[in-house]
Structure 1
């Protein structure tokens, strides 16, 4: 349908991509189009009746305007066919433009082309049947059947091709507009300070995106895999891959199957998913995901799988201001700098493990895979290096933070 009009409307815009050249039908007997012209009103009536009867989508007996357009469309199709039979000079471009316009209209109405193309095929069958009956009644010569049939089905094929071209063009255009709206929606959902719920709702409706209660933002290093193309994600995910890093807004990320869908869409790709947040707090999920992605690039967080910020909150907290961590390490771990490497690294590792194990030497030995006596020897060394600070609870807490950050940094101390 085009603006509420089914089948054919002759005032559509012209243009579209040119169709490939097609083989011309065999010779048509001269004057055939004039012989057929007197029968065209009856054929038109029968085609319209068949379409209304056999295709429910076109059966609107109470809609006079609609039925007028159906009649007009069928009449125009048959008139155009007669014009083509009349000679090689017939201009196909206006007919092509009409059918491209119809295809665009069907796409704008959100329908597939199946119904329209069924009407085309039905019209061709009825026309062929009526002309065959005229031949049997000796009102037309029998030798016209073969070239007539060839010309009819070529005309049908070209009408279908023009309709498909217009339909495809409109679908691509609509998809582009929809993606633009969805890209703007991503920006709206992740802006700081947040916009109003009404603004989000209005744009979500225009973008055909059902509003979730919660969301999470995934950021990706998709440019690292140029040969793999852009990730293919479920349609309910909002995506933006026209910039680096890419962004994906996942609705209701804690719902059934969501984690599997995310992992399936981003196999082997460096990606970080931010925390689940209320609808208007997407900026926070994006901010944490970006922080996580930067730490993943540096090797602080894993880079071989999808990283969830919720699994690394303490690391994200530690690295919010690395200058503070450096200052803390300078204050609490300075004595270790006077110990030569590699002994310094062994003592730092033992101290962190001891603090994490609740000062249990046997557990430290098990975790480090060394003899308990080795642990006790190192602890005596640590006592000599740090003195009373080693047994100060506040200093121990600071040491554990600084040592944990050190263990995550590739460069270490």
Structure 2
């Protein structure tokens, strides 16, 4: 049996590896002795553990079960052939041979089942251990202050994760509590079990990464943080969480957000109390007007600050007549006077007006 297995199955052909030859011999001897025990004591309990361990060994070797199953079938054929050769001298009748043949194949099925059970158990354990390492790696990458580079490199190696130069974190909204993980490549670290579910995407600006995320996160409410060096992964996640929060409040659109597309809004809303104080000062000239007048003049002033000083361009942006814009600009000049000539005040006005516009959009949502 050993010679035929090593001759016909390449995975077990290691003539120079004495330890491996001993393992194969032990497995064959256990199979034969177990079969003989079954024949001699048909009602005795059978211990599947030796072949469960063999199945675990196959998993540890990184093979599937096909070589082992082939070896079992080959060993059974060799055993059956030898039995038929000695049936005459032993005086075995045909019925005895049939019974032995049936017993061999029943036993073969039991061995295969035991090996498969051990194989799957080892695979599940290995997958669970790898998942624990990846979760721990994600914890280290998102810790504040960040973990040391050496500790991260060691754990990344143990987790089979290549260290990228840049990463982007994705904040996921789990409003229904499903914790359903999106279908993503294995190099994406997933923190679905964290209090706030998130992902860590390596090399987010690499080829195909953008379309991959678009496809995988379709139907999710999520925010993709800005690309940052690996050591700053927590910063990317913080921005992603803030964008997701603003999306939930209606300030930013729903669906899949990219922080890089909304940096101005994120900066404006970083310190809302400070922005409110700024707005109170810079928008004070509008405060005595009716709400509808405030809205029209604020809209016109923001368009003027953002898109140029020409009434025609502002009118095109607002879809109103240029004469209407000129009238509103004259009102604004009367309200603000020389302040509109100061570039610092114009900058602060744009911040305050952008915040006002975003807050209005949130209320309408």
Q: Settle same-fold status: TM greater than 0.5.
A: yes
Q: Contact (CA 8 Å) 1:216, 1:273: kept in 2 or not?
A: yes
Native 8 Å contact 1:223 1:244 kept in 2: no
**For residues 365-385 of structure 1, what are the alpha-carbon distances to aligned partners after superposition, in whole Å with 9 as ceiling and x for unaligned?**
111111111212222232333
Partner of 1:274: 225
Q: 1:229 to 1:279 in 2, by over 3 A?
A: closer
d(CA) in 1 for partners of 2:27, 2:90: 29
TM-score with structure 1 length normalisation? 0.82
Moved more, 389-398 or 346-355: 389-398
CA distance in 1, matches of 2:173, 2:98: 62
What is the match of residue 295 of structure 2?
Answer: 345
Q: Determine whether 1:248 maps to 2:199.
A: yes
2:133 to 164, 172, 181: 181
Gaps of at least 5 residues in structure 1 are 1-46
Residue 151 of structure 2 corresponds to residue 206 of structure 1: no
Map 1:63-78 → 2, pairs under 5 A: 63-78=17-32
Aligned to 2:10: 56
Shift of residue 258, structure 1, vs aligned partner: 1.2
Q: Conserved in 2, the CA contact under 8 Å of 1:239 and 1:247?
A: yes
Aligned length: 362
Residue pairs, 1:75-114, within 5 angstroms: 75-92=29-46, 94=47, 96-114=48-66
Give runs of aligned pairs for residues 13-412 of structure 1, distance below 5 A: 47-92=1-46, 94=47, 96-135=48-87, 139-224=91-176, 226=178, 229-305=180-256, 307-409=257-359, 410-411=362-363
Is the CA contact 2:170–2:198 (under 8 Å) kept in the aligned structure 1?
yes
Q: 1:137: Cα distance to partner?
A: 7.1
Structure 1 CA distance, aligned partners of 2:300 and 2:250? 22
Q: Distance in 2 between matches of 1:64 and 1:388?
A: 93
The 3-state SS of whatever aligns with 1:256 is: coil
Would you say the 8 A contact 2:225–2:237 is kept in 1?
yes
CA contact (8 A) 2:285 2:335 kept: yes
Residues 272 and 292 in structure 1, CA contact (< 8 A), matched pair in contact too: yes
Runs of 4+ in 1 over 4 A off after TM superposition: 135-139
C-alpha RMSD of matched pairs (Å) = 2.0
- Structure 2: gaps spanning 5 or more residues: none
